[in-house]
């Protein structure tokens, strides 16, 4: 559909606002190396963290750690 025709543009552009990127160390969809690439393209004020003992659904695997990281990031604003 036409409404989806330009979505790819948003998937490849770096965000303009500070962002928190969390990546599970055991993610089967993307290696932790992707997190290091992401760190290079995010704007100032962003954070990247690799969550140990977590896969692609890291919020389910390590809910306390993910919540702590999110709250810590939000609290910086």
Please give the model's pTM, rounded to 2 decimal places.
0.81
Please tell me the predicted confidence (pLDDT) of residue 6: 73
Q: Which domain holds residue 30?
A: 2-74
pLDDT under 50: residue ranges of the chain: none
- Residues with Cβ within 8 Å of 3's Cβ and at least 6 positions away in sequence, in order, are none
Please tell me the predicted confidence (pLDDT) of residue 76: 67
The CATH number covering residue 32 comes to 3.40.50.1820
**Over the stretch 51-63, which tens digit does the pLDDT of each residue have?**
999 999 999 999 9
Residue 23 near residue 69, CB atoms below 8 Å? no
Please tell me the predicted confidence (pLDDT) of residue 46: 96
Per the structure, the count of domains in the chain is: 1
Which structure tokens are listed for 10? 């948003």
């Amino acid at each position: 559909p036409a409404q989806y025709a330009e979505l790819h543009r948003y998937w490849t552009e770096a965000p303009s606002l500070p962002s928190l990127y969390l990546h599970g160390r055991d993610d089967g969809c993307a290696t932790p190396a992707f997190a290091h690439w992401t760190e290079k393209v995010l704007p100032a004020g962003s954070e990247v963290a690799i969550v140990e003992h977590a896969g692609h659904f890291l919020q389910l695997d390590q809910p306390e750690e993910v919540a702590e990281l999110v709250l810590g990031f939000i609290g910086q604003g």
